[in-house]
Amino acid sequence: SFSGKKNENQKLSDEERLCNSIEGKGTTFIKLGQFLATRPDIISEKISIQLEKLQDRLPPFPTSEAKQILKEDLGENLYKSIINFSEPVAAASIAQVHKAKINDNGTVKDIAIKILRPNIKKTFNDEIDALMLLAFFVENIIVKTKRLRLVEVVFLLKEITNHEMDLRLEAAAANEYSENTKNDLGFNVPNIYWNYTNESVLTLDWVDGISIRENDHLQKNNIDTKKLAEDIIQHFLRHAIRDGFFHADMHQGNLLINNEGQIAVSYTHLTLPTKA
């Protein structure tokens, strides 16, 4: 009930209420909150720690819209070659993921298809431009805020997020990463399917596996978690030092242990929001 939610909200700290408010305002504010979480010197350590908990997820958009985007972006022939297209299996503020199959030179393969939210670029850029104007006014009216460089912060967020919203750039980086690491034993990067990839659609191998955050599950499958941690560090250092090119978001949600026991990188391991 409404009163129940109100009472529950009153039990939260000011920082927790701030997080809930930001999540409710959608993509732009979630991204801004996550960005500010990296700047405790500006917003304080206490607020920064709380903003780190921001969940980059929103309810999925309808599968019918996802299919329409695929049809328009890939063309009728490629769209028809996709089989067993699933309901959303994961959703975030910018994109969502579906599982499907394609026939790749006579071999049927499981794939993940990441699709940008409809109109997300216009929505984000309209909102960020409004924030930019607000930051400009604040900086010019309240002199003390100039040291915070609010306009610069918002502009940098705009650049970073627009980069994220061109899935061709993500695909190109993933392809280079795959080439660099193809001979690294115990490490697997999913293959990109370029015919099924463009600015709004990213298609790659589906990765079945256990997230490294599921410690109990890993132990039940006789996986030595201490050795796993050492291997992850070794791989990261190898990529950074040997290649000068590494996965910049190598957190628990993006690393799986696949069915072959390899560390597998996931670019689509998002989370569906839990139902209230």
DSSP collapsed to 3 states, the chain: CHHHHHHHHHCCCHHHHHHHHHHHCCHHHHHHHHHHCCCHHHHCHHHHHHHCCCCCCCCCCCHHHHHHHHHHHHCHHHHHHCECCCCEEEECCCEEEEEEEEEECCEEEEEEEEEECCCHHHHHHHHHHHHHHHHHHHHHHCHHHHHHCHHHHHHHHHHHHHHHCCHHHHHHHHHHHHHHHCCCCCEECCCECHHHCCCCEEEEECCCEEECCCHHHHHHCCCCHHHHHHHHHHHHHHHHHHHCCCCCCCCHHHEEEECCCCEEECCCCCCCCCCC
Told to judge if 73 belongs to the known catalytic residues of this protein, a careful annotator would answer no
- The catalytic position among 14, 41, 216, 249 is 249
Where b means 16+ CB within 10 Å and e means fewer, 167-191 reads beebbeebbebbebbeebeebbbbe
> How many other β-carbons are positioned within 10 Å of the β-carbon of residue 21?
12
**Catalytic residue set:** 249
